[in-house]
Amino acid sequence: MCDISNARKSFVWVIWVVLVAQSRASPQLDLPQYEPNSANYPQNPSFIPNPNYSPYNGVYATQGTIPQQTPEADRGYKDIGKAYRGDVRSLLQALELQASQQCTNNVAAQWNFETNVNQATQLEAAQQTYSEFQHAVWELLNHAGNLDNIPDSRTFRQIRYYSVIGPAALTPDQLDRYNRLINDMLAIYNTASVCSFNDHFHCGLKLQPDLNKIMAKSRNWDELQHVWTEWRRQTGQKMKDLYEQMVRLSNEAANLNNFTTTADYWSFPFESPALELDLEDAWTEIKPLYELLHAYVRRRLREYYGPERISRQAPLPSHILGNMWGQSWSNIFDITQPYPGQNFLDVSPEMLKQGYTPIDVFRLAEDFFVSLNLSAMPLDFWQGSIFEEPRDRVVLCTPSAWDFCNRRDFRIKMCANVNMKDLITAHHEMAHIHYFMAYKNQPKVFRDGANPAFHEAIGEAIGLSVGTPKHLQALGLVPVSVEDTAVDINYLYQMALDKIAFLPFAFVMDKWRYDVFNSKVGKEEYNCHWHILREQYQGIKPPVLRSEINFDPGSKYHIPANIPYLR
């Protein structure tokens, strides 16, 4: 068994070392993002080898056309080396055309799959063409001689980014094995189901919508414990060996990209020599506010469930926080709110009353950005995007913004409904589109966020502005002025349950993996270390005893998918 309390004592020296090291790191508040609609169907990274494709969350489009591969691209990227005769700038010019076209083709295949899920589009999306292109460029640069003496820093930076290709650096056999390991783990995750607590013969309950709904709405302690435990038994517990093998291959890929481990590879885009210490420093600033929130929630849950279940000092049981992973506590607002009955604003009924449609929601988002002196959405955006769930085919409904890498085609995919949540999400996704358009004239290798967190930071900032009472009044969705302290406090508390509670969870997600990738934690300590970090940063604990038979990190999608969380 994993004795969390005893194991925590051994961490004292580690914590002390971290605190000393923090004094040498400059603060950098690159905090993790909130995930809108994160419970919906996520993405399979084996289908997304393109770093520019980022789900921020007709057969091809509603009215759009499929970007066609040019004859130049048909000649074959494998001859790209002919452009290099010792002139790095000529090489970059040749790469610009090829990389943009390969990226466009890759994103188009992914779009086809997600907007029309069937075997044919899945096979198209799973092709390794883009990975092969990345590998060819990587090999060329590795044999191009000494490129470290390029005097132009901008040129050197482009070369550096082209030479970092992630898992595509693996040999074909290794890459195939890496993708198979991830797909095998995701198959376990995506097919997992549990039986009902109240009727053990009623099985087949899936994460979305069944289990997420139970975790959000049920207040039955034993039912929540059953769902929490069974989900982890059906997911993480079955993939621990696969995950260990994937870690070895992931680190091998990092080595081939001239990084020591995957942790260094994931930190590279942030361009911070001490990212973990920067994050620790940022967390130290936020921690006092989180502790106040944690203490208040503990008191209200103690009143609701009783002192025999909620201790005055022990960590909070993670299964009663309204979410499968304890990452957001907003679903327990109803039993913890400071002022019962003084609900914060929800303009969903007013939107329906005024006859809003999903397309109206996005037009409203466009008006918001135009009011900031930004441009309206181009015509191709309205023709190519999907705003409502089609009835004639299966679509993956996770809201996402798409850059087709050709400087003109930008789209949103979202199965929007007329409600306040989707109103905010529409603004969030359109913020990504505006960022795409803002850097569209940069070289292909620079067409991405300033760092992996920047896109989500922009989207979240916009979402926070849109949801304020003042803005909703300006839209005519709040008929009367709301000047009530109780309503304001409830609104801010709801935001804290969602945003502040999320921050330590996101930090733990990648801190645990950094420790695994850096070999600080072996397979025999995976689960124990996970719960040590959960207690240390989140102040929560599992509802039942856990051991190394379990692999609770694997119950969260991003772990088996090997997708970084700090972005």
Question: Which two tokens mark 65?
Answer: 């056309």
CA-to-CA dists, residue 398 to 42, 88, 331, 414, 556, angstroms: 7, 40, 20, 6, 16
CA–CA separation, 213 vs 215, rounded Å?
Answer: 5
Is 200 an annotated catalytic residue?
A: no
CA angle 107, 110, 116 (to 5 degrees): 135
Looking at residue 1, its amino acid is: M
Give one DSSP letter per residue of 176-241, joined into a string. HHHHHHHHHHHHHHHH--B--SS-TT---B-IIIIIHHHHHH---HHHHHHHHHHHHHHTGGGTHH
Closest CA to 92 of 185, 139, 158: 158
Instruction: Tell me whether residue 456 is annotated as binding.
Output: yes
What is the rounded radius of gyration, in angstroms, for the C-alpha atoms of the chain?
A: 24
Is 535 an annotated catalytic residue?
A: no
Instruction: Tell me whether residue 280 is annotated as binding.
Output: no
Long-range CB contacts for residues 469-474, cutoff 8 Å, separation at least 24: 469/345, 472/345, 472/347
Active-site entry in 114, 280, 366, 429:
429
Cβ 24 vs Cβ 103: under 8 Å: no
Using DSSP, state whether 312 is helix, strand or coil.
Answer: coil
For the chain, report the end-to-end CA distance as a whole number of angstroms: 34
Looking at residue 276, the DSSP 8-state letter turns out to be H
Instruction: Tell me whether residue 248 is annotated as binding.
Output: no
CA–CA separation, 273 vs 264, rounded Å?
Answer: 9
Instruction: Tell me whether residue 432 is annotated as binding.
Output: yes
Question: Which two tokens mark 191?
Answer: 């097919």
Binding residues for Zn(2+): 428, 432, 456
Annotated binding residues: 428, 432, 456, 567
For the annotated binding site for chloride, the residues are 567
Residues catalogued as catalytic:
429, 558
